[in-house]
Amino acid sequence: MYQISEQARLTLARLMQQHAGLMVPPESLQVIAAGASGRAIVRSSRLPGCIGIYWTPERADNNSFLPAAHGLRKAGVLVPAILEELDCGNGCGACLVQDLGKTDLLSLKQENWHTRREAYVRTIQSIHKLHTCKPNWVLQPGFDVALYRWEQGYFAEHYLQTYCGKEAAAFMQQAAMVSLAEYLAALPVSAVHRDFQSQNVMLYQGDAWLIDFQGMRAGRPEYDMASLLLDPYMQLSPAEQAELLLYWEQLRGLRIDRSIYAACALQRIMQALGAYANIGIHQHKKWYLDLIPAGLSALRQAISLAPAGSPAAQAAACLQAVL
């Protein structure tokens, strides 16, 4: 059962009341999600068609949600409409957004490939629009050597050291891991979602809509695609991944550089495994630890993708040695 602060509950009830002109008792709000990010998300049976979001400055990207939502809609990217918004002061805020229902991409996990493929095609079309938009709003700090190294360190500290009891410092000192970060940071960038996985894609009115895009920043589009196709929640087969990568190539009219894709895949899955271990152990959400076997399978797939002699291959060898 999710718990949210009294301040969040009262603020969202008042905002819903203001929007609809009817009483919305705070106790009537159904909490959809709440966590260590400082965000609370609710629905009310009295006000169908909208979701309430309240946030604190606990995470640096929380206040990036509204600018990104407005900017992406203007760019033609499928994201929920903002119905009301409120600056609560001290870095806190609240808004009401269009309710896209309860069917996310993950909910199709047990469906046949034809059904899943159609949903993935729509999803890739939506992320392609995000990748090709030209943001005129402030994004989160872009991917650079420091951020790629932070992801590696997150994996080393929380997965290797805390979860596995292995030496984090020695892994981080490997020249191949430094080279991986430097290689990716030197490449041209576009807008990226940053957390593009199956729970952040809603299937609504025959299309794929993007949510939780407040972490948008400049980076490599291959990072988002690796996040989607190697998502441990969905566990797509290698053949399914290859088919979707081919579709992405055709949509872009551009062949994928397999070294870049593999390097991004390594980075993303390291970050995911670090998150599963950190949240599962330190935030006491033990079900995240259940995702680690699927995360390891995804990491091994990413390792297998690295072309011989590439920076990705050198990093893959380092990872293979600690698994």
Q: Which long-range contacts (CB under 8 A, 24 or more apart) does 178-181 make?
A: 178/149, 179/311, 179/314, 179/315, 180/148, 180/152, 180/263, 180/266, 180/267, 180/311, 180/312, 180/314, 180/315, 181/145, 181/148, 181/149, 181/152
Say which residue, 21 or 3, is predicted with more confidence: 21
What is the model's pLDDT at position 65? Answer: 97
Q: Is the pLDDT of residue 157 over 90?
A: yes
Q: Which residues, 6 or more positions from 304, have their beta carbon under 8 angstroms from its beta carbon?
A: none
Strand partners, 54: 40, 94
Q: What angle do CA 134, 136, 141 make, to 5 degrees?
A: 90
- What is the C-alpha separation between 51 and 49, in angstroms, rounded? 7
Q: What angle do CA 237, 242, 246 make, to 5 degrees?
A: 150
Q: By the 8 A CB rule, do 265 and 220 touch?
A: no
Amino acid at 316: A
- Of the chain, the percentage scoring pLDDT greater than 70 comes to 98
Question: Which domains, ranges and CATH numbers included, belong to the chain?
Answer: 6-98 (3.30.200.20), 105-322 (3.90.1200.10)
HSE-CB of 33 using CA atoms within 13 angstroms: 14
Comparing 36-45, 75-84, 169-178, which segment has the lowest mean pLDDT? 36-45
| pTM, full prediction | 0.96
Mean pLDDT of all residues in the chain?
A: 96
pLDDT of residue 217: 98
Rounded to 5 degrees, φ, ψ at 83 are -95, -35
- Is pLDDT above 70 for 36? no
- For the residues 109-115, what does the mean pLDDT come to? 98
Task: Give the pLDDT confidence of 251-266 residue by residue, as tens digits.
Answer: 999 999 999 999 999 9
Query: Across residues 277-296, what is the average pLDDT?
Result: 95
More confident residue, 283 or 97: 97
Q: What confidence score (pLDDT) does residue 267 get?
A: 98
What confidence score (pLDDT) does residue 1 get?
55
Percent of the chain at pLDDT exceeding 90: 93
Is a pLDDT exceeding 70 seen at residue 211? yes
Average pLDDT over residues 230-240: 97
Mean pLDDT of the region 59-88:
97
The alpha-helical segments, DSSP class H, found in 37-187 are 65-74, 113-132, 145-154, 168-172, 175-185
Q: Which two tokens stand for residue 291?
A: 């995702």
Residue 29 · residue 36 · CB < 8 Å: no
Model confidence at 35: pLDDT above 70: no
Across 1-15, 95-109, 130-144, 226-240, least confident range: 1-15
**What pLDDT does 61 receive?**
95
Q: What ranges in the chain are assigned the alpha helix state H?
A: 6-20, 65-74, 113-132, 145-154, 168-172, 175-185, 221-229, 238-252, 258-282, 292-305, 311-322
